[in-house]
């Protein structure tokens, strides 16, 4: 079997009892069992080991790079003019290379205040750099073959037809972001688990059967994806 790489990101701030962490671990376990020794599994905990927020030097280097067009990563390093810019690029480049090397990106993304966690946003800001996901010679998207499994977990209900559907700035944001990076829409798989707080929030107790159903559907969907990706 051809060697393949899974880049597995968790962003829940809860080390214990996290539904998103449990679901991504489930996918990773099935995926590793399928690929066996041919599998490479890299796990990043964006809450336990957070990515540093980008600073002014990152922006300065990015603007200078963008004026040059699409450049190889080695050439970007040569554009750094200050130690601060060199430091910012040294933080960003390994994360960019991890994403470029991944065949499958598995992302655990719980909803916080209607959107993503600060840990995930910091990773997004750090890996987003002008031109690095385009082929310098052809301009083609380097991530066009990458498969993304987005595990979106929400304590309440935000699905289609729910009263708070309009408050979901989690899934639409992530979908727009990854498609903007060059991920093909058919390679972006969104798996949601809703109402995960129904068991412990009194106002949601009546919705517990729906929560059980949503979680079971998420687990089954992830098992199926892990068996095929």
Per the DSSP assignment, residues forming a β-bridge with 104 are 6, 147
Rounded to whole angstroms, how far apart are CA atoms 25 and 213? Answer: 20
Average pLDDT score over the chain: 95
**Annotated binding residues, as ranges?**
12, 18-20, 111-114
Domain limits at 36?
A: 4-226
The CATH number for 41's domain is 3.40.50.360
DSSP state of 142: T
The pTM for the full model equals 0.94
Q: What is the pLDDT of residue 137?
A: 85
Compute the chain's Rg from CA coordinates.
19
Residue 1 has pLDDT above 50, yes or no: no
Distances (CA, A) of 112 to 75, 105, 115, 156, 224: 38, 21, 5, 11, 27
Q: What is the DSSP string of 12-41?
A: -S-SSS-HHHHHHHHHHHHHHHHHGGGEEE
Residue 37 clears pLDDT 90, i.e. is over it:
no
> What is the domain count for the chain?
1
Binding-site residues for FMN sit at 12, 18-20, 111-114
């Amino acid at each position: 079997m051809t060697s393949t790489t899974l880049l597995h990101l968790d962003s829940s701030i809860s080390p214990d009892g996290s539904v998103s962490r449990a679901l991504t671990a489930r996918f990773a376990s099935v995926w590793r069992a399928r690929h066996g020794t041919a599998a490479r599994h890299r796990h990043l905990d964006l809450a336990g080991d957070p990515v540093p927020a980008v600073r002014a030097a990152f922006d300065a280097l990015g603007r200078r790079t963008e004026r040059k067009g699409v450049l190889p990563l080695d050439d970007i390093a040569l554009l750094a003019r200050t130690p601060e810019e060199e430091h910012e690029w040294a933080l960003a480049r390994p994360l960019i290379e991890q994403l470029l090397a991944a065949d499958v990106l598995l992302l655990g993304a719980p909803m916080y205040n209607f959107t993503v966690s600060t840990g995930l946003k910091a990773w997004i800001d750090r890996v987003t750099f002008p031109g690095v996901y385009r082929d310098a010679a052809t301009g083609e998207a380097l991530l066009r073959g990458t498969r993304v499994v987005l595990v979106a977990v929400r304590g309440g209900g935000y699905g289609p037809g729910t009263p708070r559907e309009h408050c979901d700035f989690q899934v639409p944001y992530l979908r727009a972001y990854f498609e903007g990076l060059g991920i093909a829409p058919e390679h972006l798989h969104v798996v949601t688990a809703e109402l995960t707080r129904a068991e412990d929030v009194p106002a949601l107790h009546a919705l517990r059967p729906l929560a059980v159903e949503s979680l079971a559907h998420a687990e089954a969907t992830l098992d199926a994806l892990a068996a095929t990706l």
